[in-house]
Amino acid sequence: AALTCGLNASAADYVAQKRDLAKAATRQKTDLHRTAAFLLYGAIYQGMGQEYIYNQLYPILFGASTSFATVLSKVLFDLLIQTTLLTLPIAYMSKALVYKYSIKEAFRRYKDDVLKRGLLTKYFLLWGPVQCLTFSIIPAQCRVTFIASVSFFWMTILSSIASKARNVESDNVH
């Protein structure tokens, strides 16, 4: 799962970079550090972390039922707690690790993208319905694969949002 999710995330970043470069009509090259950050995030968090979270931890916390109340509890926890405090911050910390800037700067960028670029709104609009499907009709053994499939599109969006032009001060932080 780690290798598949890492390759999926890095491929999504590559697609986002090519799209963004084409829109800007620039001759810049693909940023391999950026792709490496998505590879790291995809492999470690999406491939290994989510396998544990969704298939081991969620059944303990919420049970294995697909009742409306259980599905709603899982989706709300995923969107409001896990995503805001773990999933997205880890993506920004992965990028900080590769680019060698501080964790404080990673959180500043995360906050900036939430407040100015609609990061959480975009996340909730995609993942709210997807997670309703994940926890209600997708068999437990297929959940990470299903999430990884949808995540290609999310990672393309995240890559574009997290890599929008920053002001000079933040780009020079290392």
pLDDT at 26: 74
Percent of the chain as helix, strand, coil, to the nearest 5? 85, 0, 15
Please say whether the beta carbons of 123 and 131 come within 8 A: no
- Name the nearest CA neighbour of 9 among 52, 48, 55: 48
pLDDT at 154: 93
- The average pLDDT across 45-68 equals 93
pLDDT at 25: 78
pLDDT at 174: 42
User: With pLDDT > 70 as the criterion, what percentage of the chain qualifies?
Assistant: 94
- The average pLDDT across 50-66 equals 94
Please say whether the beta carbons of 28 and 117 come within 8 A: no
Over residues 90-124, the pLDDT tens digits come to 999 999 999 999 999 999 999 999 999 999 999 99
58-67, 107-116, 155-164: range with lowest mean pLDDT: 155-164
Confidence category of residue 54, pLDDT binned at 50, 70, 90:
very high
Secondary element (H or E) of residue 80: none
pLDDT at 79: 98
Query: Which residues, 6 or more positions from 17, have their beta carbon under 8 angstroms from its beta carbon?
Result: 30, 31, 34, 35, 159, 163
| SS3 state of residue 69 | helix
pLDDT at 148: 86
pTM for the full predicted model: 0.83
